[in-house]
Amino acid sequence: MINLKTFEVWFITGTQHLYGEETLKQVASHAQQVADFFNKHDKIPVAVVYKPIVKTPEEIFETLLQANTAKNCIGVITWMHTFSPAKMWIRGLNILQKPLLHLHTQFNRDIPWNDIDMDFMNLNQSAHGDREFGFIVTRMRKDRKVAVGHWQDEGVIDQINTWCRAAAGWNDWQGAKFARFGDNMRYVAVTEGDKVEAEMKFGFSVNTYGIGDLVDIINSSSDQAVKELIAEYEESYDMAAELRTGGAKHQAVYDAAKIEIGLHRFLKDGNFKGFSDTFEDLHGMVQLPGIAAQRLMAAGYGFAGEGDWKTAALVRACKVMGAGLDGGNAFMEDYTYHFDPTNEMVLGSHMLEIDASLAKGRPKLEVHPLGIGGKADPARLVFNVAGGDALNASLIDMGNRFRLLVNEVKAVEAKHDLPKLPVARVLWKPLPDMKTGCAAWIYAGGAHHTAYSQNLTTAHLLDFANIADVEFVSIGEDTKIDQFRNELHWNEVYYK
Ligand code: MN
């Protein structure tokens, strides 16, 4: 499981020597109080660490240099309580490689109408001090998030929370390894992409491993370990008698558990954060991994089918960003439509591998034939998914850049049992409406594979895209198709 509290965000307050010792002591004390408030706040998922106030170009450079190399530091928050002439920041900002949030706040929430004097004015200067800092960041063309408001304001806390989660997702990608078993599903375009460019841009690597090496590990799983895992299945899921130990079709469950153990060991031993496979390359495997992929995703691994390494990496990032929040993040595919004009919606699913972190109620473990791949009937978890706000996100390789695309959706509860559908399923209505949402998605080149999130918002993905410095396009309540198409055209010029 992913624990974000092991990560730190550094709180750095800029000032200068002009004000004298007494004022600087106050600046430091206030900065400590603000950092402490964030650190203890239950909505801020990471540790917020106060750093001594910076007053010179040398102190700024040294602090940001340390931020770059501190392993647990996933980003820095800056605040100019007083005026901090921004040429002092150039050298430090030039080398800063960690995500930056500029907090535009003021220590005193209110103007003390009866007592305000020049001492108050000289201490509470962020209204102009933060503008000076903002100029140099913009002048240097550095991306960052600007959060505005009093530091105890709920809206400010929400923005910091969101950005910390995005920074954690980004940090997780740096040096991350994703394993690819087999190549792309033949002829599929959108799951292709430039893995070298992705590693340069995103920091994670994707490499291929022979399915035979995985099969060897699967085959070496001990009978004892397989039986223990099956006991966990029988405890956790509804299973027909024929699938349980001693049942007529138990072998399929046994084989599936063996695959899970082998796959898990392969990923653990190789320190991988996710994987993809393809039903077209399963040589030596008894089944396509179904429940194995589902359970490994629920344990935090990224996954996508058919060689789709971009979605596997995105699913992993979403899991890190959503760590500790209610709801899940899963690999998803827009599968089938309900085009009833009074109730249009999408049925999302996959052949097998939807993550049970989305499940409403106790999943059923079932075994059914798979129409493709020519292997034995795979075991999979079947479940429904609750209604509520959610989103689909897709990472696309546009050739000269990556694009992160998000569509907000309203998930709806299934009103029918779908007794003959042997896979997990989700129903949703794309925002702003089915026709606009789907048209915009297709104009933007969005994939059929997505990361589906119940606990992230467009704001998380926007912060994430800004940190990654990639194009971000979102489809939501306010999307108008003509405007959206213009935006895509304008972006073509921007990224030329
Ligand atoms: Mn697929």
* pLDDT digits 0-9 by tens, 225-258: 999 999 999 999 999 999 999 999 999 999 999 9
Rounded distance from Cα 392 to ligand 1 centre (Å): 14
The reported pLDDT for the residue numbered 373 is: 77
Rounded distance from Cα 344 to ligand 1 centre (Å): 22
Question: CA 391 to CA 450: how far, in whole Å?
Answer: 9
Rounded distance from Cα 471 to ligand 1 centre (Å): 24
The reported pLDDT for the residue numbered 68 is: 98
Rounded distance from Cα 486 to ligand 1 centre (Å): 30
Question: CA 171 to CA 320: how far, in whole Å?
Answer: 10
Rounded distance from Cα 347 to ligand 1 centre (Å): 14
Rounded distance from Cα 395 to ligand 1 centre (Å): 15
The DSSP string of 12-43 is: EEB--GGG-HHHHHHHHHHHHHHHHHHHH-TT
Rounded distance from Cα 382 to ligand 1 centre (Å): 17
pLDDT in tens, 446-480: 999 999 999 999 999 999 999 999 999 999 999 99
| 319 conformational bin, left if phi > 0, alpha if psi -120 to 50, beta if neither | alpha
Rounded distance from Cα 350 to ligand 1 centre (Å): 6
Q: Please state the separation of Cα 406 from the chain's center in Å.
A: 12
Rounded distance from Cα 156 to ligand 1 centre (Å): 39
Identity of the amino acid at 472: F
Question: CA 277 to CA 273: how far, in whole Å?
Answer: 14
Sequence-separated contacts (24+) of 30-36 with Cβ below 8 Å:
30/81, 30/107, 31/79, 31/81, 33/107, 34/79, 34/105, 34/107, 34/151, 35/11
Rounded distance from Cα 449 to ligand 1 centre (Å): 6
Rounded distance from Cα 355 to ligand 1 centre (Å): 14
The reported pLDDT for the residue numbered 283 is: 92
The DSSP string of 144-202 is: -EEEES-TT-HHHHHHHHHHHHHHHHHHHHTT-EEEEES-PSTT-STT---HHHHHHHH
Stretches in the chain below the pLDDT threshold 70:
none
Rounded distance from Cα 333 to ligand 1 centre (Å): 6
Rounded distance from Cα 331 to ligand 1 centre (Å): 9
Q: Please state the separation of Cα 170 from the chain's center in Å.
A: 8
Rounded distance from Cα 337 to ligand 1 centre (Å): 16
Rounded distance from Cα 271 to ligand 1 centre (Å): 25
The reported pLDDT for the residue numbered 388 is: 97
Question: CA 260 to CA 290: how far, in whole Å?
Answer: 9
Which run of H or E residues covers position 126? helix 126-139
Instruction: Say which residues have a Cβ less than 8 Å from residue 202's Cβ, sequence separation at least 6.
Output: 173, 313, 402, 468
Taking alpha carbons only, the member of 208, 229, 207 closest to residue 218 is 229
Rounded distance from Cα 466 to ligand 1 centre (Å): 28
Rounded distance from Cα 353 to ligand 1 centre (Å): 9
Rounded distance from Cα 490 to ligand 1 centre (Å): 31
Question: CA 144 to CA 230: how far, in whole Å?
Answer: 48
Rounded distance from Cα 424 to ligand 1 centre (Å): 14
Distances (CA, A) of 476 to 267, 389, 481: 36, 11, 11
Rounded distance from Cα 35 to ligand 1 centre (Å): 45
The reported pLDDT for the residue numbered 196 is: 98
Question: CA 489 to CA 196: how far, in whole Å?
Answer: 26
Rounded distance from Cα 330 to ligand 1 centre (Å): 13
Count of CB atoms situated within 10 Å of the CB of 26: 16
C-beta of residue 351 within 8 angstroms of C-beta of residue 277: no
Which residues crowd ion ligand 1, with CB under 5 Å?
Answer: 305-306, 333
Instruction: Say which residues have a Cβ less than 8 Å from residue 197's Cβ, sequence separation at least 6.
Output: 397, 402
The reported pLDDT for the residue numbered 387 is: 96
The residues pairing with 266 across neighbouring beta strands, listed in sequence order, are none
The reported pLDDT for the residue numbered 2 is: 86
Rounded distance from Cα 77 to ligand 1 centre (Å): 40
Rounded distance from Cα 91 to ligand 1 centre (Å): 47
C-beta of residue 91 within 8 angstroms of C-beta of residue 52: no
pLDDT in tens, 84-136: 999 999 999 999 999 999 999 999 999 999 999 999 999 999 999 999 999 99
Rounded distance from Cα 366 to ligand 1 centre (Å): 20
5: helix, strand or coil: helix
Question: CA 123 to CA 106: how far, in whole Å?
Answer: 10
Question: CA 477 to CA 436: how far, in whole Å?
Answer: 10
Rounded distance from Cα 451 to ligand 1 centre (Å): 12
Rounded distance from Cα 470 to ligand 1 centre (Å): 24
The DSSP string of 354-379 is: --GGGEEEEEEEEE---SSSS-PPPE
Rounded distance from Cα 241 to ligand 1 centre (Å): 31
